[in-house]
Chains A and B, each alone.
Chain A
Amino acid sequence: MSAFNAIGDEREIDRDEYTPGVEPQPTWCPGCGDFGVLKALKQALPEVGKTPEEVLTVTGIGCSGKLNSYLDTYGFHTIHGRSLPVARAAKLANPDLEVVAAGGDGDGYGIGGNHFIHSARENHDMTYIVFNNEIFGLTKGQTSPTSPKGHKSKTQPSGSAKTPLRPLSMSLNAGASYVARTAAVNPNQAKEIIKEAIEHDGFAHIDFLTQCPTWNKDARQYVPYIDVQESDDYDFDIHDRAEAAEMMRETEDVLNEGTVLTGRYYVEEDRPSYTQEKKAVGELPDQPLAERYFDDDTEWERSYDLLDRHK
């Protein structure tokens, strides 16, 4: 008998279940790309058969961190840059949970960059959505790790001398087994990509272009966008690491020239997730550890039985 009966609950799910019945209403600015992520998630989750109480949404800090204030699942709004380690552990503690982590580009590629690299490397079975608006929004418009070179802001008054970080390439090299880019202005593609990411067994990274109409007015609103899978101009195999790498590099290069490329970039289906790898070496129990505390039949091991080596 499970102590977590929301998990695996087979029933019809209404997408309104994901909208909080009472306050709060989103505090994002009108026209903010973050609405696009929220909407896509609310559509995707019921379509993949997930109920609100079997999903744990773990966020960082920033406008994007408020995602789980407006998405009615179990939520953990953590600290700046640290959504991934919290999310990883929750997944290990109870692998039956559906874990979605999210944060901004400063959160995930800047202050939390180390966690991003290692979470991708270890291929934790979760979805990680990075709201990439190429700016620090909530702190009022400072240059971020993905801001284009030359970007002027209050903290980079002469224009940034730094080349922007390459999120897709970094993700691929670190070891993510699903890498995609979508944009808030393309809700249908966003929903489909989120569904694929959730259903993917492994670390699924979505670089989600979310326009900031308030602090990044100079930037394009990510229109027009091109879906690399639908356009005849691009032809590459998403299962081929080298071709994916090349396509990612081009995508990152042309973004700052005004061409918005989106779509699936890399999918590695047969790579075992971290949960599987850890089970394979005998360091993760078959039964979710969180269940054990509610199982009256559990015989808890005692240190008293370990003392022979000390006698």
Chain B
Amino acid sequence: MSDDELIWRIAGGSGDGIDSTSQNFAKALMRSGLNVFTHRHYPSRIRGGHTYVEIRAAEHEVQSRGDGYNFLLALGDSFARNPQEEAYYGNEEIKPLSENLDELREGGVIIYDEGLVSEDDVEALNLDERAEENDWHVFPLDLRGLAKEHGREVMRNTAGVGATAALLDMDLEHIEDLMSDAMGGDVLEANLDILHEAYEDVNEEYEFEHDLRVPTGEHDTEQALLSGSNAIAYGAIDAGCRFIAGYPMTPWTDVFTILSQNFPDMGGISEQVEDEIAAAALAVGASHAGVKAMSGSSGGGFALMSEPLGLAEMTETPLVLVESMRAGPSTGMPTKPEQADLEHVLYTSQGDSQRVVFAPGNIEEAYEQTRLAFDIAWDYQIPVMLIYDQKLSGENKNVDVEFFDREPSPDLGSTLTEEELKEAAHDNSGKFKRFNYEDAEDGVAPRSLPGQKNGRYLATGNEHSPVGHISEDPDNRVAQMDRRLEKLEAIRTELNEERDSTQTYFGEEDAEYGIITWGSSQGAVEEAVDRLNADGHSVRGLSVSDMMPFPEQEVTAFLESVDEAMVVEMNASAQFRGLLQKELGRFGEKLTSLLKYNGNPFEPAEIVEGYEVNVAEEEREPTAQVRIEPAAGD
């Protein structure tokens, strides 16, 4: 926990405009020179329900949501269905205030909208008493009244932002600029009035006794604020992907939406279809016809894609699928993150099926690994999957704009032109030997596309001969299977020898203790490792992105270099630890697990505590809602 950071939480009901308000506030903080990181918590409903967005802002790098928070703007839930306390869900109106108090740090600041929540309800919370105990500074403001007076009630968010800026001694310039970009006319005028009025009212009416102020910083280069879903969509665009098919499902819908909005202007095609079976099958069909195509879903929708995925593998159709995990099983908790679909993604589909799977750990990796996914899929004619989760999907972080200044790579990889097809091997009847195992390099037999001269062949999910005819000949079967399996080894070799490692390391090189994680838990682990080392421990962190083919050499070297290691992941059955042991066949006695599956992502302090309980062998249980799994034999 550091004192030089702001973690601002804006809480309200779904439909209260929390998202857009927080997005602009995060941008304002970024423009002022700070590094920002956002975390989004919301229920699976359209209106009402307790929702919040947290914005962490600091001069230093921020890789996670941080621990707790120090500024609450509680708007109250204006769509509350059950304002009576005795109602089943309790008093929803006040939840944006009442539900958020436990995680507020000492010395924190609270603004709540007294225009919406009733005095009696606030009294029932014992807020005064708790404020005194925790040195909280509470500002009941009539945000609704102010908004109504100068504009419309929905503009109370703006009043809250104005009050926040006053209390943090924050310049309004960037906020005004962003408002002017987003709106115009009377709406802009009203919002600007409300912003200034709230700002001035607070400054005039209150003596500030709190210490919290907005941090200051400076960026050397221009920054952009974007989410993991933006990064995946932009990686796809730069890889030359121009076809997406999908069916809505949280949280995957974000990637689908971003590409659907951008594709029409860039000659691309987006198709929303009847179900996820169709979605994946369309991506296969478009790829078969010569277009760089993708699809995706979340766990339940991906379950339907198992068969088209297998078809792509057997017919060697290049394909990229993304899977944005949410808490399961079945419908689970639709808007909460979890990393529990790893085995689902690795092992679904019948037979000796094989695919490549990457798990990006942050927004930059999401972009880079999406591009890598397309490169590999089209070079090796194999499905490549990106597995990420609700957390990475929706969190925003500032990234150096120049990071994206790269050449596009629309190349179709191992696809032949008509010129090349003339020279390629054909059978006696003139059929192209599409699946020729005799000259295949790294298991790859170059492909043709429908409509090309001299390229016709049959693609089939049955085992097939070099020209694609259905075949159950044993020699052909073994030759084709061996050729297909060879690709994964070749891809591993390429990743080891020709590409920058997608694994990320942090902390000390010769540490005694290791913390291993994967996917979006990376940022929290990185901060935890830094903190532990600053406290005098000896810890090295590794975040693995290559799930398949597994980076055996790198992970083995890491595990050999440490005495013990803790595997951190957001699921209940230690799936990644299972993968480590399956792939490496040892280290069982070295590996413990820190598991979290309550619907909220890890905070760094929980990992620090997990280390303390696990390694420093403190005689206590963790205070956080996590579970520790001992090493084999313990």
Contacts and interface: CB of A to CB of B under 8 A. Distances in A.
Pairing of A with B:
yes
Interface of A: 3-7, 9, 20-24, 52-54, 56, 58, 61, 66, 68-69, 72-79, 82, 84-94, 96-97, 114-115, 117-118, 278, 282-285, 287, 289-290, 292-294, 298, 300-304, 306-307, 310-311
17 contacts: A5-B453, A22-B428, A53-B451, A74-B450, A75-B456, A77-B461, A82-B277, A89-B245, A90-B289, A92-B243, A93-B286, A285-B269, A292-B242, A293-B412, A303-B234, A306-B262, A311-B31
A7 B271 CA distance: 25
B451 A74 contact: yes
A194 B265 CA distance: 37
Contacts of B290: 93-94, 290, 293
A278 B271 CA distance: 10
B119 interface: no
B285 A85 contact: yes
Interface in B263-279: 263-271, 273-275, 277-279
B491 interface: no
A116 B230 CA distance: 34
Interface string B249-272: 000000000000011111111110
Contacts of B470: 24, 66, 69, 77
A306 B237 CA distance: 10
A307 B224 contact: yes
Given A82-B308, A92-B269, A20 B429 contact: yes
B27 to A, nearest CB: 8
A278 to B, nearest CB: 8
Given A97-B451, A310-B230, A77 B458 contact: yes
Interface stretch (B103-111, B334-342, B383-391, B400-408): B400-408
Interface of B: 27, 31, 222-226, 230, 233-235, 237-238, 240, 242-243, 245, 262-271, 273-275, 277-279, 281-286, 288-293, 307-308, 310-311, 315, 367, 401, 404-406, 408, 410, 412, 417-418, 427-431, 449-462, 468-470
A164 B408 CA distance: 53
B194 to A, nearest CB: 24
Contact of B315 (A5, A76, A292): A76
Nearest to A27: B470
Given A69-B458, A89-B283, A307-B404, A302 B237 contact: yes
Interface core residue of A82, A292, A303, A311 (most chain B CB under 10 Å): A303
B267 A292 contact: yes
B451 A289 contact: no
Contacts of A5: 418, 452-453
Contacts of B315: 76
Contacts of B462: 77
A78 B311 contact: yes
A92 B271 contact: yes
A235 B31 CA distance: 75
B412 to A, nearest CB: 5
Contacts of B226: 310
Contacts of B308: 79, 82
Contacts of B449: 3-4, 94, 290
Contacts of A94: 289-291, 449-451
B278 A115 contact: yes
A305 B382 CA distance: 30
Contacts of B283: 89
Nearest to B231: A303
Given A52-B456, A311-B223, A293 B292 contact: yes
A94 B118 CA distance: 62
Given A5-B452, A53-B452, A114-B274, A82 B307 contact: yes
A89 B461 CA distance: 18
Contact of A76 (B243, B278, B408, B459): B459
A292 B268 CA distance: 10
B461 A78 contact: yes
A19 to B, nearest CB: 9
B311 A79 contact: yes
B289 A89 contact: yes
A23 B469 contact: yes
Contacts of A311: 27, 31, 222-225, 401
A300 B468 contact: no
Contacts of A300: 240, 408, 410
A92 B308 CA distance: 18
A53 B451 CA distance: 5
Nearest to A80: B307
Contacts of B450: 4, 53, 56, 74, 90, 94, 97
Contacts of B284: 78, 86, 89
A303 B278 contact: no
B428 A307 contact: no
Contact of B268 (A96, A289, A294): A289
Contacts of A52: 456
A237 to B, nearest CB: 31
A72 to B, nearest CB: 7
Contact of A90 (B288, B367, B408): B288
A89 to B, nearest CB: 3
Nearest to A310: B224
Contacts of A86: 281-282, 284-285, 288
A302 B237 CA distance: 7
B270 A283 contact: yes
Given A90-B450, A114-B275, A282 B289 contact: no
A283 B271 CA distance: 9
Contacts of A301: 237, 265-266, 408
A66 B462 CA distance: 11
A181 B156 CA distance: 64
A186 to B, nearest CB: 28
Contact of A289 (B291, B307, B469): B291
A3 B308 CA distance: 27
A37 B453 CA distance: 26
Nearest to B262: A306
